[in-house]
Amino acid sequence: MKMSYREAIRQALRGALAADPRVFLMGEDVGKYGGTYACSKGLLDEFGPERIRDTPLSELGFVGAGIGAALGGLRPIVEVMTVNFSLLALDQIVNTAAALRHMSGGQFSVPLVVRMATGAGRQLAAQHSHSLENWYAHIPGIKVLAPATIADARGMLAPALADPDPVVIFEHAQLYNLEDELPGDFQCDIASAAVRREGKAVTLITYGGSLPKTLAAAEELAGSGIDAEVVDLRVLRPLDTATLFVSVKKTRRAVVIDEGWKSGSLAAEVMARIAEESFFELDAPLKRVCSAEVPIPYAKHMEEAALPQVPKIVAAVRELLGK
């Protein structure tokens, strides 16, 4: 059945609410408005205001309320409109949710799911175009997910809700209109990377909104005889390095594509782990394609120039292979 990424998320939310009375959704405009990205449209009518809760414009407050509800035995899904607004709730996520199991000696857990839109490409300028997934992937005590396919958008929420610890899900805003077939078996774990395309010449490692671009680049490279393998990280913490090492051992070359800025990026962490564990499997230096080190511009042509794009990925691969 073909559906959009947005509809896959809506179905995941509906399925979770229907399956477990402890589950509820809270966030700005998730109720009457149906969500900023229309992911919760219709859920208020179906499940009522006790389980679809509109909140004040206070991320610090309602994320904290979600933590309290999780400690009290509920299974909250907290929607933060965009990743930049989550900065207002960093204290709750990093200092409280992520740390409570450790600080209580294992007496308490926080089964909380926080969803947020991330990424650029929509001409929303510097304050609404961040890709800060790596900030959260740096923190022990939470899992960090980046569903990039229809199947993962539909399948990741259930295991996230079943996890006893906090899970942060990043939905790239450029993916909401993406359409594809939903496979009959869309169940997935929240621990493994996925090989999205098999290849032998080079491994392209990416996640989230950069996956469609990377797959398009691999298709273009195939037209000139370069067989690229594409690995979708999917889970940013904990990283599934085993899948990466197997792929690099096969191709002996790797390029990491990450919409985050190069300095302190997730791309840097992935490259470091490959260098630490698989250095002698490499036949060439590692390369990466990241966003330009600037606040994301508003003007469309400048925004496009600042972000990883198919031609940049293709050029990086050709430079690596000397072709």
Total residues belonging to the chain: 323
Q: Are 255 and 203 in contact (CB under 8 A)?
A: yes
Q: Are 192 and 156 in contact (CB under 8 A)?
A: no
d(CA 249, CA 132): 30
Give the three-state DSSP class for 99: coil
Evaluate the omega torsion of the peptide bond into residue 21 and state whether it is cis, within 30 degrees of 0. no
Residue in 7, 28, 59, 269 annotated catalytic: 59
Known catalytic residue at 128: yes
Residue in 7, 28, 79, 128 annotated catalytic: 128
The conformation of residue 110, written as its DSSP 8-state character, comes to -
Give the DSSP per-residue string, 197-227. E--SSEEEEE-GGGHHHHHHHHHHHHTTT--
Known catalytic residue at 59: yes
d(CA 38, CA 323): 44
d(CA 147, CA 245): 21
Would you name the residues annotated as active-site residues? 59, 128
